[in-house]
Copies of this chain bind each other. A is one copy, B any other.
Amino acid sequence: MSGHNIEQKQLKYFKLMDDLKEQILKGDIKAGDKLPSENELSVAYQVSRQTVRKALSILENAGYIFAQHGRGTFCSEMVHRSRNSRNIAVVTTYLSDYIFPRVIDGIDTALARDGYSIILKNTHNSRSREAKCLEELLQKDIEGIIIEPSKSQIYCKHMNLYQKLEDYNIPYVFIQGCFSKMSHKPQVLMDDEKGGYTITRYLLDIGHKNIVGVFKADDMQGQNRHKGYVMALQEVGMMYDPDSVIWFHTEDRKVHPYDAIMQMMNEHKKMDAVVCYNDEIALQVIRALRDAGRKVPEDISVTGYDNSYMAVSDDFRLTTIVHPQEKLGEMAAELLLKILQEGEDAVAEKRIMIEPKLVIGNSCKERR
């Protein structure tokens, strides 16, 4: 209201406070350093001890310093080391996606043990929303972040936000996927390459020759499952045919797996099995195949991924890969807690890979 923000430096306590703050920010006074005693300061600055105390109390309140009875006043370790908020942010792409609830449940289980709470954010798999989330979270009192990157395959334009997290000393753990430039950061993910390999190899082993792949283009998982698919084909000496792979984007209306399969059928493409990105896609593919008059698994085998509730219904069980959802969440939370306690550098195993496990249902049939 009144112009008291101008020339406050004439106030003795303000000048002293400002002086000390500058020394701390410039690094002349480092973290843990002991400040001159109140009496020393009162002599040095020619002010009363009360005035010194007023200046110190402002700095203490702002978190720059802390006083210890009988010992002295010290510079805080981290100006930004967030206080005891006991909040951990969890950023996912979708909330009601068929696997996330259980992942979040796992995270919650691990965090609740230590009295932490979850601040939930979701990005709808949009990069700009992810940036917005991170910006909002930087304003909040959180101790760490567990994040599933959106469209992890695409180059990340907002690296600066992750840099800011580091500056503020807010550790983060990636789940499900990770930007390629950040593969050294803490992360918990499935070995999707091996998963894609395992399930493709299974199809090859039971005699399939023309295996179509349907993969999501815009995240790491899709890329890696595809890599495994290629690896399995090459291992048995089979040619990799790019035309046998359907790439789709989440929001993309142009390439819908259902339509893409339909088109392949119309083109009379050879096909005796379809490896799908996940269970949801597998069901779409099966619907397309059935609508085109093919039987699964008699005519064409189909595999899923994630072993979600979709994989199991009364008489039909998808052959798929186990996704240990709660476990993954729990492991990510435990990794983050460990980093919070011991520091990121002290934690040896920062990259946790979960081994994929094949679940054989009745959506595939042996050939010949």
Chain A residues within 8 Å of B, Cβ to Cβ: 1-2, 4, 57, 61, 68-69, 85-87, 90, 94-97, 100-102, 104-105, 108, 115, 117-122, 136-137, 140-141, 309-310, 313-314, 316, 326
Contact = CB atoms under 8 A, between A and B. Distances in A.
B108 A117 contact: no
Contact of A69 (B2, B121, B122, B137): B2
A contact patch SS: mixed
Contacts of A309: 309-310
B87 A119 contact: yes
Nearest to A139: B86
A68 to B, nearest CB: 7
Contacts of A141: 141
Given A68-B1, A101-B100, A120-B119, A87 B313 contact: no
B87 A95 contact: no
Contacts of A137: 117
B95 A108 contact: yes
Given A120-B118, A121-B117, A87 B1 contact: no
Nearest to A136: B117
Contacts of A85: 140
Nearest to A62: B61
Contact of A96 (B2, B94, B104, B121): B104
Contacts of A68: 1
A85 B141 CA distance: 9
A143 B314 CA distance: 45
Contact of A314 (B95, B117, B313): B313
Contacts of A326: 96
A314 B120 CA distance: 33
Q: Can you list the 4 inter-chain pairs with the closest CB atoms, starting with the nearest?
A: A313-B313, A96-B101, A101-B101, A95-B105
A316 to B, nearest CB: 6
Given A140-B87, A141-B141, A101 B108 contact: no
A117 B123 CA distance: 12
Nearest to A118: B120
B119 A104 contact: no
20 contacts: A1-B68, A61-B61, A85-B140, A94-B105, A95-B108, A96-B105, A96-B326, A101-B101, A104-B120, A105-B122, A108-B120, A117-B119, A117-B120, A117-B121, A117-B136, A117-B140, A141-B141, A309-B310, A313-B316, A314-B316
